[in-house]
Chains A and B, each alone.
Chain A
Amino acid sequence: MLAALFDSSVWTAMAAAAVAAVASVLFLRSRNFLYDSLALAATEIGLLLLACGIVAGAIGSRLAGGLWWTWDSRLTTALIGFLLYAPYLMLRRAIEEPTRRAASAAVVCIFALFDIPLIALTVNWWLARRTVSLPVSAGWTILPVSLLGAGCAWIRLRQEQQRRAQDAERRTAQEI
């Protein structure tokens, strides 16, 4: 059960990464901030799911064999994936100016997406001796997990749009 949850969360997180990257490209083309908010929402939810998945995976391996971390290739890939996207959030926090922030974040998102398959391959070669183990035991849990993910992302997107509108009003008000 925990393994299924882990696999679902990994698949959903990968879908989120793809959505974020596409949104980033669309933002760079159109400079429409909706896409920036979408990329942010997708990445945040993806990271959250990944974190839950990693915890679930660790608990699972502890229950199964007594060890918290067994260097399982899928779990390790998920962890590196988390470390790959976490700086995205840090970067956003470090840049004040909205356009620059969105553009820089978009670039990071695109780089990260290209890295995912390379990381998956490398970790698999390193740990599982040249066999690529895909997270296939997701089963039915993938549906509720991805719906949950999409729902949270949608809420986050609305929240981000509202925050931007408030920011704009505040700046206009300040100048008057």
Chain B
Amino acid sequence: MKYVRQVATVAMKDVRAELRTKEAINASLAFALMILLLFSYTFDPEQEMMRQVSGGLLWIVFAFAGTLTLNRSFARELPNDCLDALIAAPIPGSALFLGKCFASFVLVLAVELVSLPVFGIFYRVHWTPQFPALFGVLLLGTWALTIIGTIFSALTVNIKLREVMLPMLTYPILMPALMSAMRLTTSLVNGQPIPEDDFAWLKMLIGFDVVFTAVSLALVETVLVG
């Protein structure tokens, strides 16, 4: 239970700090809405094609906007050398890491849940019928985004060109998860349940989450202490 409390302490600290300044969350939300707006110029909402690309489009928005938040995850520890104090504290590196993951997860999910209705309005898709399943896919996909984004945020925290390196590292690795999430979301966001054939994608997404959570936890001490 002590471990859980430690994770919670770190997570609460991050969320509280972010809500005070709102730097990342404002940028992330504005960015998401901008992309949604820009893309609406490209597609005619009446067309069938819109329905087919909707899932992909949504996850592109989530991935790009989410990176803005994830970049801040460890970068917020740099001013005043706070990262030193966190590493020196007697909490396991994995607790620090998971605390930050959960905080970022909540923040990114919040931006996604605000973008979803806007998406529905601009693009005239009916996402409400399948919302429980859609929410499940959101959770799984956002966790993939968060876990990879946070571990690489820790890895790149001290290097120059951090804002460039983080997306370059995360997007290729995220491809299987993004593709799976896009596929699953396309049918769900149009009010259709996931077809039988597509359950493999769900397994892929879950598998991705499990594998990379394990790999991240195994390597977290190396990433933090070097």
Footprint of B on A, CB under 8 Å? 28, 80, 83-84, 86-87, 90-91, 94-95, 99-100, 103-104, 106-108, 110-112, 114-115, 118-119, 121-123, 125-126, 130
Are A95 and B159 in contact (CB-based, < 8 A)?
Answer: yes
Residues of A within 8 A of B176 (CB): 115, 118-119, 121-122
Which B residues between 148 and 178 are near A, CB-CB below 8 angstroms?
148, 151, 155-156, 158-161, 165, 168-169, 172-173, 175-176
Closest Cβ of chain A to B65, distance in Å, is 21
Query: Could you list some 18 contacts between A and B, CB below 8 A?
Result: A28-B222, A84-B172, A87-B165, A87-B169, A94-B159, A94-B161, A100-B158, A106-B222, A107-B219, A108-B169, A110-B219, A111-B148, A118-B176, A121-B204, A122-B180, A122-B204, A125-B200, A130-B197
Identify which of residues 167-198 in chain B touch chain A, using a CB-to-CB cut-off of 8 Å: 168-169, 172-173, 175-176, 179-180, 183, 197
Interface size (B, Cβ < 8 Å)?
Answer: 31
With contacts A94-B161, A122-B176, A125-B200 taken as known, whether A104 is within 8 angstroms of B208 at the C-beta atoms is no
Alpha-carbon separation in the docked complex, A28 to B151 (Å): 17
What is the bound-complex CA distance between A172 and B180, given in angstroms? 52
Residues 197-217 of chain B, each 1 if its beta carbon lies under 8 Å from chain A, else 0: 100110010011001100100
B223 within 8 A of partner (CB) = yes
Separation in Å of the B135 CB from the closest CB of chain A? 23
Question: What separation, in Å, do the CA atoms of A121 and B213 have in the docked complex?
Answer: 19
Q: Which residues from chain B contact A111 at a C-beta distance below 8 Å?
A: 148, 151, 173, 212, 215, 219
Cα A100 to Cα B200 with chains together (Å): 39
Q: Are A100 and B226 in contact (CB under 8 A)?
A: yes
The answer to whether residues A103 and B222 also contact, given A91-B169, A112-B173 and a CB cut-off of 8 A, is yes
A114 pairs with B211, CB closer than 8 A:
yes
Return the contact of A126 from the options B179, B207, B219 (Cβ within 8 A).
B179
Q: Which of A28, A86, A114, A130 is within 8 Å of B200, CB to CB?
A: A130
Q: Give the distance in Å from the alpha carbon of A103 to the alpha carbon of B226 in the complex.
A: 6
| A30→B223 CA distance, assembly (Å) | 16
Complex Cα distance A84/B183, Å? 21
